[in-house]
Amino acid sequence: MIDRRCVLVGLLSAPRAWGQPALKPARIGVLIYGPNVQDYEEFLGGLRELGWVEGRNLIIEKRFVGDSPQRGRELAAALQALPVALILASGTTMIRLARDGAPATPIVMINAGDALGSGFIASLRRPGGNLTGTTAAGEEVLAKQLELLSLAAPQAKTIGVLLNRANPANGFFFNALSARARELGLQLERIEIDHVGELDAALVRAKGTPLLIMGDPMFIRERTRIAELSIAHRVPGIFGAREYVAAGGLMFYNSSYAWHWRTAAGFVDKILKGAKPGDLPVQQPTQFDLAINLKTAKAMGITIPSALLQRANEVVE
């Protein structure tokens, strides 16, 4: 005779025939300036292709810094304390805040201005430490921007460089630009500001002088204002993000932000599966785009050389 109590105990202790219990979702942090991040959907799409779906097997903790660097460090520390498996940070300033605020947490860099020159990594092939991700071509991109701007305004002997004084990448970038300017027979004028309220005065100072606008979250948030001021004061400018040209800026030259965000998804996947950040080679873009806004050129009274137009991937008319 079968003991029913033994059968019941056996059923309760046996593995579930319909599969293993669901695994706990992975948790990652994203440290950014504000909620309106360009190309963030590219990142989510890249994650989905790799099997990571927010709300199913992945929790994404987004934290917005605003204009306070100190808050960035505090938020990074809070993400580390949750804890999160890693933190994504976009741009040189944000990457440094994440590194300083969460030194024990892997950091995935998105579009670092120059990861090697900024001291974030030991080398592109073996970054070491807790940081890996994508980096811009840094000095090479800025040198090319300077060259393109000089072609658009061949009569100019001086080029202004607009910088956010708080951005840690500015020092070595400006030095690299200075070396290229000497090769082109140009003088550089360094125009630094601390907050958006100084933009008007900066553009007045650059009046009539071509201006290279360094990549910075503060500037891209004010891209429409910068474009309006540039037209008003006849300041031809070149930018590192396509959004500036859409807002009325004259020229853009750089890699695609979408590429950086989508590529970051691959780093997240590898780290969540156990890879060490220091063993993952940092990636650089290999394709670059040039966009020119002819409507803005006309408003400024500038004639863009046909040879330069032929090199453009996109022309706004």
Structure tokens at 253: 């030259």
User: Which domains does the chain possess?
Assistant: 26-136+257-279 (3.40.50.2300), 139-254+288-316 (3.40.50.2300)
Model pTM? 0.81
- DSSP sequence for the chain: ---HHHHHHHHHHSPPTT-PPPPPPEEEEEEESSS--TTHHHHHHHHHHTT--BTTTEEEEEEE-TT-HHHHHHHHHHHHHS--S-EEEESHHHHHHHHHH-TTS-EEEEEES-TTTTTS-S-SS---TTEEEEE--THHHHHHHHHHHHHHSTT-SEEEEEEETT-TTHHHHHHHHHHHHHHHT-EEEEEEESSGGGHHHHHHHTTTS-EEE---HHHHHTHHHHHHHHHHTT--EEESSHHHHHTT-SEEEE--HHHHHHHHHHHHHHHHTT--GGGS--B-----EEEEEHHHHHHHT----HHHHHH-SEEE-
pLDDT per residue as tens, the chain (317 positions): 445 444 444 444 444 444 445 579 999 999 988 776 768 999 999 999 999 999 999 999 999 887 676 789 999 999 999 999 999 999 888 899 999 999 999 999 999 888 988 889 999 999 999 999 999 867 788 899 999 999 999 999 999 999 998 877 777 788 889 989 999 999 999 999 998 899 999 999 988 899 999 988 788 889 999 999 999 999 999 999 888 999 999 999 998 888 999 999 999 999 999 999 999 999 999 889 999 999 999 999 999 999 999 999 999 98
85, 272 Cβ separation under 8 angstroms:
yes
